[in-house]
Structure 1
């Protein structure tokens, strides 16, 4: 599945380079018309990120997301600064289809594991962002500022006891770079964790990357910058994904 992605800073669509708030590009698009076009083309779900909320919980952009959800009946998954059960309930009350949990999956892992049980595994996506060094997939949190001693594999094992289903895995070195995804990473984790529906994120720059990721076995691809900069169209991406056996 192709999942278009939009990051928001102060209500505007933006892309960060490797998560750096100081290295950002704003995109002047008619968001609501853009979303309507995506739905008409056959997109089933869209990924939204609250960069303000990720940095400071008091600056969450709930009103923006409420307006987006009300303007389309497309399924929406939202991440960025989700730290409490109240945060989750607020997003579900807005009509969000899935919530994306990042740093809390490491800092508050027992509570997050309980959320999987309470809300169901199809409602929660774990966003696990990794630095791959000597094939060790170390997870980073807090907007990628802090590297932890937790590995991707150990973290998935921990949450799999509550039927974890969706994992959004990003190779930090690739995010926002258009340098191509880490295909070997996805091949390895798909092979190891057959029960997980992986969402690949980071580095997609052309349709060859879409083909390679489909062949890696991931369930979905998060695509942001490439679509925003019209390196290929959503129609081309969807057709490419469907045609790879």
Structure 2
């Protein structure tokens, strides 16, 4: 299972997205590039970078920080946040980002998703699905759509998408473990590569995701709060579980 080390950017800083950073000033570091280099040093083989301001505002805000990260590290990066146009995608891929996560626009504008897949290919376009009580949250999770998460996953698969980042919003907020049951259902009802995010707090949680067949897992808050050591998590995922 591929592990993705998270970097969540707001106002040029790395923040904990599950701690109302904009109200409580939960800043992890004022230097996201330094954190990216640290994750790389700790064994990360893939970074998951999110521009939280862009996700809310609907256009890239901290692109210069993402560029600095790309220029600093040797490992691939998947980026999400505020992607609304083909020009946005092209700019980040040209910058050196390996994959782009499309969230809101994948739901509101299927034609845009089809066009992006046609131009850039399925390996470079990933759909982000944030599930809140089974329904898809959009616009930086500020609004709940009328789409069921599994139905949406099936729809984007039919369009040609191969990989999704599936986040359980309640698990991400409460940090009481991942939603294994719904992840299993997502896996069983689609043929997508599923990268799970939300509520992962221990190596045992990663074991559970490996066992249920997830293709990847993204951890952010548990790294920021030292609940999980990145080097140990990377080794576990490389082994495919403790028992292997």
CA–CA distance in structure 2, aligned partners of residues 189 and 18 of structure 1: 27
The alignment's TM-score, normalised by the length of structure 1, stands at 0.90
Match of 2:198 in 1: 202
Work out the CA distance in 2 between the residues paired with 1:104 and 1:23. 29
> Contact 2:197–2:219 (CA<8 Å) still a contact in 1?
yes
Query: What value does the CA root-mean-square deviation take over the aligned residues?
Result: 2.0
Counterparts of 1:23 and 1:164 in 2: how far apart (Å)? 37
1:231 aligned onto 2:232: no
Give me the whole-angstrom Cα distance separating, in 2, the residues matched to 1:185 and 1:57.
28
1:191 to 188, 202, 206: 188
State the match for 1:115 in structure 2: 116
Structure 2 CA distance for partners of 1:18 and 1:37, relative to 1, 3 Å: closer
For 1:150, the equivalent position in structure 2 comes to 147
Aligned equivalent of 1:65: 66
Unpaired stretches in structure 1, ≥5 consecutive residues? none
Alignment of 1:160-179 (within 5 A): 160-179=157-176
Deviation at 1:24, TM superposition (A): 5.6
Determine the structure 2 residue equivalent to 1:96: 97
Match runs of 1:203-222 below 5 Å: 203-222=199-218
Provide the C-alpha distance between the structure 2 equivalents of 1:57 and 1:207, rounded to a whole number of angstroms: 35
Shift of 1:71: 0.7
* Contact kept? 2:58, 2:139, Cα under 8 Å: no
Quote the residue 1:7 is aligned against: 8
Separation in structure 2 between the aligned mates of residue 196 and residue 21 of structure 1, nearest angstrom: 34
Pair 167,243 (structure 1): closer, same or farther in 2 beyond 3 Å: closer
Alignment coverage as a number of residue pairs? 240
The CA deviation at 1:153 is 2.4
Native 8 Å contact 2:59 2:84 kept in 1: no
1:77–1:97 contact (8 Å) kept in structure 2: yes
Greater share of residues in strand: 1
